[in-house]
Amino acid sequence: MSKMIHIVEVGLRDGLQRETVPIPTADKIRMIDRLTAAGIRQIQVTSFVHPKLVPQMADAEAVCAGIQRRPDVRYSALVLNAKGVERAHAAGITDIDLSISASDAHGRKNANMGLQEAVAHFAEMVALARSYGMRVRGGIQCAFGYYVDDVTPDLVLELARQHLALGVDSLALADSTGMANPAQIRAMLASVLPLAGDVPVVLHLHDTRGMGLANVLAAVEAGCATFDTAFGGMGGCNFIEGAAGNVPTEDTVNMLHALGYTTGVDVEQVAQVSRMLAGLLGRPLPGKLYQLTEERHNTG
Ligand code: ZN
C-alpha cells in the first residue's frame, strides 16, 4: 500500500482572509461542502477573529452553521484569543488552531504581542480550549524566518518543545513568509519529527518564492505526512509584505499522486472549486492545475 499523505484545506481561511470583495456566506458553504465531497478530511473553515480586523471572516458562525458536517471530517477554525475560543466552541467547532509567531517583530505586528507575552497567552488559550474538550493544533508562524532576522532553528525547536509539553494534539510549522528552502525543511524536520514522536507534524507552506512544491517534496521524503494547502493557491498574511498564496491543494495532490502517494483527494473536484472561486473573484488564482481541463491533468 502506498503511503497516505493528509491534506488540510486552508483556502477558506488563509485563502480568503485578505480578499476585500466579500464572498457570500452561501458560496463559502458550497465550497466547503464540495471540498468535503472531493475527499478532503480536514478543513479549516474560518477564523473567529474580530470582524474589524478581518471583515471577510465576519460570517464565521453562519459558515459553521451552514456546512453539511460529515462525522469523518474534521472542521477546524483559527482563533487568536479567549473570545475566539468561546465563539468557536459555541459554533460547534471541535478542532482549534492556535499559534504564535517565532518572530518577535512579526508577532508584534500580527497579534500585538511580543514573543514572551505570546508564549504565556498561548498556554492560557490551550488550557481554555482543553476545558471545552477541543482538540488543539499548536502552530509556530514564521518558523523558517522573517524579514527581521530574529528567528533561529533553536528558537523554533524550543517553541515546539513548549507546545508539545502543553499537550497539543498536532504541531504545525508555518513558513508564513515563504522563505524556506528544501535544505531548511530537511534540517528542521530531522530535529522536529523525533521531538514530536506520535504527535503529527503539519507543514504550512507559502509559495512566495516558488519553492512550495519543492518544499513539499523534501518534507514527504523527510517523513512529514500532513500539509496545509489552499485550493487555487490562495492565501497570505496581511502583516507580511509581499506575502503570496499557500501551496495549491490540487497541484500538491497531483504531484503526490504522481509520486505514488495516496491522499484520498480528487484533483478535478478541487479544481472545480478553484474555478468557482476564480469566477466569484473575477480574476485568475495563483494555482496551475485548475486552469487545465480534466483530460490534461497528470494524475495517476
Ligand atoms: Zn498562511
Q: What is the pLDDT of residues 197-240, one digit of tens each?
A: 999 999 999 999 999 999 999 999 999 999 999 999 999 877 77
- The answer to whether residue 87 is domain-embedded is yes
204 bridge partner residues = 174, 228
Compute the distance from residue 1 Cα to the ligand 1 centre, in Å. 32
Q: What is the pLDDT of residues 157-198, one digit of tens each?
A: 999 999 999 999 999 999 999 999 999 999 999 999 999 999
- The answer to whether residue 57 is domain-embedded is yes
Categorize the per-residue pLDDT at 249 as very low, low, confident or very high, splitting at 50, 70 and 90. Answer: very high
CATH code of the domain containing 231: 3.20.20.70
Q: Which domain holds residue 114?
A: 6-281
- The answer to whether residue 90 is domain-embedded is yes
- The answer to whether residue 300 is domain-embedded is no
Q: What is the pLDDT of residues 81-98, one digit of tens each?
A: 999 999 999 999 999 999
237 a catalytic residue: yes
Count of domains for the chain:
1
Spatial separation of the C-alpha atoms in residues 136 and 154, rounded to whole Å: 23
- The answer to whether residue 197 is domain-embedded is yes
299, pLDDT greater than 60: no
Question: Of 64, 142, 224, 237, which is the active-site residue?
Answer: 237
Compute the distance from residue 16 Cα to the ligand 1 centre, in Å. 11
Centroid of chain to Cα 23: 19
- The answer to whether residue 19 is domain-embedded is yes
- The answer to whether residue 286 is domain-embedded is no
- 3-state DSSP of 208-266: CCCCHHHHHHHHHHCCCCEEEEEHHHCCCCCCCCCCCCECEHHHHHHHHHHCCCECCCC
- The answer to whether residue 276 is domain-embedded is yes
pLDDT, the chain, mean: 95
Compute the distance from residue 175 Cα to the ligand 1 centre, in Å. 7
